[in-house]
Structure 1
C-alpha cells in the first residue's frame, strides 16, 4: 500500500512529487531533465536588456519537501514569563492588610493616650509634696579657731512627710555644716522610710578636726567668736521618692539649706548653742 496515498492532493500545483512505486521499477515515464540556467556572466547591465529571471529550482530527487504533510504537528508557542503573564494582584488582600495595620496603630495611640491621661489624673489627685525640713538644735563644744579649727558639733533636725496618700523613701543622706562657703564638718545619715504624715527626728554628730581653711577665714571666725556668736549654715542633701499602691514618683535629689543659724558662746568659752528661742528653724528646699 502506498504510504503517501491520500496525501498527494495537498501538494501545491507545479511542485515536484515523488512516486516511489513507478519510478523504482521503470514502469512510468522518466522525470524530465532540468535545463541548466543561463550563465549570467555573458550579460551586462549596459547592453540594454536584463537577463531572464532564473527558474525556480525544484527539490532534488528522492527528497520529500513535506515530511509532516500527512501528520501535521501542532506548533507550540512558549511565551516568556513576565509581569504581563503573572497572576493578577489581589487588591482585596492588600486593602485588608492596610486596614488591619491602620486599626492597630489607632488602638496603640488610644492606649498610650489613656495611660498618659490616667497618670496625669493620678498625679493631680495624689499631688506629691516635698518633705519639710526644720532644724531643732545645734550645739558646739571645744571650739578653737586660733591656728587650726577644732570643734565638736551636735545638731538635731526633723523631716516630715506632708503627704497623706504617699509614703516617702529617703536615701543618700549627707549633712554639711558651713561657715559662709567653707565646710566646717560633715556627717552621713542612714536611709529610712517615712509613712504618711510621719515626722522623723535625726541627730547628727560632726567634728571639725582635720579640715583646713584659709587664714583670712580663720581670722574672721575667731573675731565672730570673740564677739559672742558665729553664723553657720546647715546643708542637707538626700534622694527622695514617693510611692503608693498605684502611683510612684521618680527619685529626685532634694537639697535643704538651713541658713541663719546663730550659735551663741557662753562666757567667752568654746561652748555654744543655737539661739532660736526654742522654735524650729525652717529650711529652704531646692531640686
Structure 2
C-alpha cells in the first residue's frame, strides 16, 4: 500500500526544487538570450528583405532560400568552402598525429618544441595573418629569401587566384596543427603500455603496433578532432578577412566570408541570415552523419 510522504518531506523537496530553479535560472536565461534567441531571430530575418536601415524588414517568405540555392555564385562558394575545409581537416589530423608521435619520443628539449608548436594556436588570427602576409610577400618576404638562391621567383600568393586558397590552407594548418598535436599527444600518453609491450614481445614492428594498436585506440580523439575541426574551419573568418578579403575575385570566398559580405558590405540582412541558416543546416547534417557513422567504429576504452 502506497503512502503519501510526510508534510516535512514534501516541504523539503519543494525547497530543493526551488533552490535548483534559483541556481539554474540565470544560466538558462543567459543561454536563451545569447544563444537561442539570436538563432530564432536569424531564422526570421532569413524570411525577410531588410537593408538594416529601414524601420521594419519586409517579409518575403522563402524567396531568399530559392535565390540562394539556385545561385551559381553560392554553388561556387560552397565548393570553395568544402575544398578549404577538407584540406585543412585532413592536413591538421595527419600533421598533428605525426607531430604527436615525434613529441612522444624521449628527446631532449621536447617540452620547448611542444610549446613552440602550440603557440600559433593561441595567437589571434589577425596577428597570424599579418605574419604570413610578410612571409608570402613576393618582393621581400621569407619565401622569396628561401627560393631566390635557387633561381626561382615566388608567386604573388594573395593576389593570384590560383595561389590564394593554397596560401590560406598553409596558414590555417600552421595555426591549427599544434593544437591537434597536443590533443593527440595526450591520447598517446594515456594509452596502456602493456598492449604495446606485449605486441613488441610477439615480434610486431613499429608500424604494425601503430596501425593495429595505437591508431584504433586513438579513434575517440580522432572523432573529437574531426568534428571540432570541421566546425571551426567552416566558421573561419579572421585570417581570410586580413589576408585576402575573399579575393582575388571570389577565389577565397567561403560561406563565413560570404555571410559577412552580404550583411555588412551589401547591407542585405535577409540574404546574410539565409546563408547563416544554410551553413547551420550543413554543419548540423555533417556533424550528425559523422556522429552516426564514425561513432559505430569508435570504441571507448
Where on the TM-score scale, by shorter chain, does this alignment land: which range?
A: under 0.3
Task: Give the number of the structure whose alpha-carbon radius of gyration is greater.
Answer: 1
The structure richer in helix per residue is 2
TM-score under structure 1 length normalisation: 0.27
Larger relative CO (CA 8 A, sep 6+): 1 or 2? Answer: 2
Q: Structure 2-normalised TM-score? A: 0.26
